[in-house]
Amino acid sequence: MSLLLLTLSSTWLFSQEKFEKDIIKTNSGDLAITFIGHASLMFEYNGLVIHVDPVSQQADYKKLPDADLILVTHEHGDHLDAAAIKELLKDGTRIIMTQACKNSVETVPGTIVMKNGDEQKVKSITVDAIPAYNIEHKRPNGEPFHPKGQGNGYILTFGNVRVLVAGDTENIPEIKNLKNIDVAFLPMNLPYTMTPEMVADAAKAFQPKILYPYHYGDTDTGKLLELLKAEKGIEVRIRKLK
């Protein structure tokens, strides 16, 4: 894929809250990524505002731009927050979520349920839902923290740039087999998602041009940098996404 990933980084001020922000060039306009915290992200592209996993603990969503599109990866409380979603609604807001999410909250007309393998085009953005689940790490009762088929990761296509927001997952085959991912958000905290070694293993397999670890809690991000320092085709960027 021919692509210019020219980026700028800055800190933006929304009322009293500061968030880091990167700009990524696509062939059809700038993609702005705002790093709100943990698993909460905001994308701005050609006049559209897209919120991913908005959660009130991460921001006062009354002070952030209303959403044209909201994506929710799964039903856990650090990803699905009905109050945050309500603050972001405006006329025409579309919401994409899993069936388990829809079963947990009151939704708005036009809410779209996506399952693993589905594709939707919403407000000019193509969204692909991919698997997100645990294989290795499980609860004391033997159940996985994230069962197969219940949660989504999402691939969003912005012009010629494909962005992966992986959701809560391990380095599963479905992620390692991905192709042509330009920007990837991979979760990195135990026992719920991945170790730095798992993130590095996944990234080496599908070779994103830019990798953001996210949802990383107290995990040492320096370890991931060390593991991938020899991978010349992958730029690892650390942002405030604990």
The pLDDT assigned to 10 comes to 57
The pLDDT assigned to 140 comes to 77
The pLDDT assigned to 139 comes to 72
Structure confidence at residue 7 as a pLDDT band (50, 70, 90) = low
CA–CA separation, 49 vs 70, rounded Å? 9
Tens-place pLDDT, residues 89-134: 999 999 999 999 999 888 888 799 999 999 999 999 999 999 999 8
**CATH T-level assignment (fold) for domain 7-236:** Metallo-beta-lactamase; Chain A (3.60.15)
The pLDDT assigned to 96 comes to 97
Residue-wise burial string across 24-48, b where 16 or more C-beta atoms lie within 10 A, e elsewhere:
bbbeeebbbbbbbbbbbbbbbbeeb
Question: Is pTM, for the whole model, over 0.85?
Answer: yes
Please, how many CA atoms are within 13 Å of residue 112, restricted to the half-sphere of its CB?
A: 20
CA–CA separation, 199 vs 27, rounded Å? 29
Tens-place pLDDT, residues 180-229: 999 999 999 988 899 999 999 999 999 999 999 999 999 999 999 999 99
Q: What is the mean pLDDT of the chain?
A: 92
Structure confidence at residue 3 as a pLDDT band (50, 70, 90) = very low
Ranges of each domain in the chain: 7-236
The pLDDT assigned to 119 comes to 98
Here the tokens at position 81 are 């927050």
Task: Find out whether 21 and 33 touch, Cβ atoms under 8 Å.
Answer: yes
Does the pLDDT of residue 12 top 60, yes or no? Answer: no
